[in-house]
Amino acid sequence: MKETRQFLESLGLPGGDLYSLPTSEKRFPDGAQYRFEVPGIQSPGVMETLLKEIDDYGFYIHRVTQTKGIMSLTDEEISDMVKLSHKYQVQLVLAIGPRATTDTSASVHTKEGVRIGYRLRGQEQIVRAIEDVKRASRLGARFFLVYDEGCLWVLAKAREKGIIPAECRFKLSAHAGLGNPCAAKLMESIGLDSLNPVRDIQLQMLAAIRQAIDISIDIHTENPASSGGFIRHYEVPEMIRVAAPIYLKTGGSVAKTHSWDSTEKDAKARAKQVMLVKRVIDTYYPEAIGSPKGSIG
């Protein structure tokens, strides 16, 4: 194994998982180590409730992610969510709509076929995904959740050629099943701006991924029942230390599934989860540097 480890290191990759848990010296452009993200916010009303509730706590978050898909939203709903993102100075991430679970194939709904994740089947689905991004970008959206590596690559090319705005940014979903530094490096090289590895990624694995890439990493501090239901709040200080710059994806345990249609009551519960994670950070890693309100670059 020594020779294989040396080969990996010659490529600028870690020779294995980093059990020494080294401290990451990488940072967001504003110098911060961490930011907060709340996923699963599917509509303007729920988004507004979430942001108002967090504001009432005297705090703020940096990113809100919609996961049901752009094609589930009307133009008016997208525009309203964009307006809310500007009002509360948060990054709005919209999920690309066409994906395996809404395709005519039954494969993804079988025990073996579920391994496809949310990847796209056929070039027509790629066309529809690009159309989704073009539509949302015309309405002011600039951040998109991607489920398919090929779709990521072609969207990055579309960004280069001006087919979609140059300001568009792409985040890879945990549903893509990525969990090692080599895959992370590949995604970064084809245009990824923010990486969400598999939800049960362990600290030594996370540290190794951080060594391999410079883009932000998005980590689930908790999960809906459909993807394990585990809550990792007490691991958050170490997540920040070894993986900065990092988005802390919080509030997922309120939902039963990834595309759970959150209610306003759910939004308030998600806001509370953010504050519970903030308490852990303040107690066990008070020197950690969080981004100020409005930091979305």
Contact 118, 100 (CB under 8 A): yes
Asked if residue 291 is part of any domain, the answer here is no
For residue 260, what pLDDT is reported? Answer: 67
Give the pLDDT confidence score for residue 54 in this predicted structure.
96
Range name among 69-83, 89-103, 136-150, 164-178 with the lowest pLDDT average = 89-103
CA distance linking residue 56 with residue 205, whole number of Å: 36
Element (DSSP H or E) covering residue 10 = helix 2-10
Q: Inform me whether the pLDDT recorded for 89 exceeds 70.
A: yes
**Residue 296 placed within a domain:** no
Residue 103's pLDDT is: 79
Looking at per-residue confidence, does 289 or 110 come out higher?
289
- C-alpha angle with apex 106: 121 to 65, nearest 5 degrees? 65
* pLDDT tens figures, 91-133: 999 999 877 777 787 777 787 777 777 889 899 999 999 999 9
In a domain, 3, yes or no: no
Q: Is 141 within the bounds of a domain?
A: yes
What's the pLDDT score for residue 258?
65
For 227, residues 6+ apart whose C-beta sits below 8 A from its C-beta are 174, 199, 252, 258
Instruction: Please state, for a pLDDT cut of 90, what percent of the chain lies above it.
Output: 82
Residue 84 covered by a domain: yes
Would you state the pLDDT for residue 178?
Answer: 94
pLDDT of residue 225: 79
Confidence label for 81 from pLDDT (cuts 50, 70 and 90):
very high
List, for residues 226-239, the tens digit of each pLDDT value. Answer: 778 889 999 999 99
pLDDT of 73 > 90? The answer is yes
What is the spatial distance between Cα 72 and Cα 90, in angstroms, rounded to a whole number? 21
- 257 lies in which domain range? 22-284
pLDDT 10s digits, 182-227: 999 999 999 999 999 999 999 999 999 999 999 999 999 998 877 7
What are residue 17's phi and psi, to 5 degrees? -65, 145
* Alpha-carbon 222 to chain mean position: 13
Would 6 be classed as within a structural domain? no
Tally of structural domains, the chain? 1
Beta-carbon contacts of residue 82 (< 8 Å; ≥ 6 apart): 92, 139, 140, 141
CATH of the domain at 95: 3.20.20.70
Residue pair 278/250 in contact (Cβ under 8 Å)? The answer is no
Average pLDDT, the chain: 93
Enumerate the β-bridge partners of residue 95: 145
Is 295 within a domain?
no
Q: Name the band, by pLDDT with cuts 50, 70 and 90, for residue 262.
A: confident
In a domain, 71, yes or no: yes
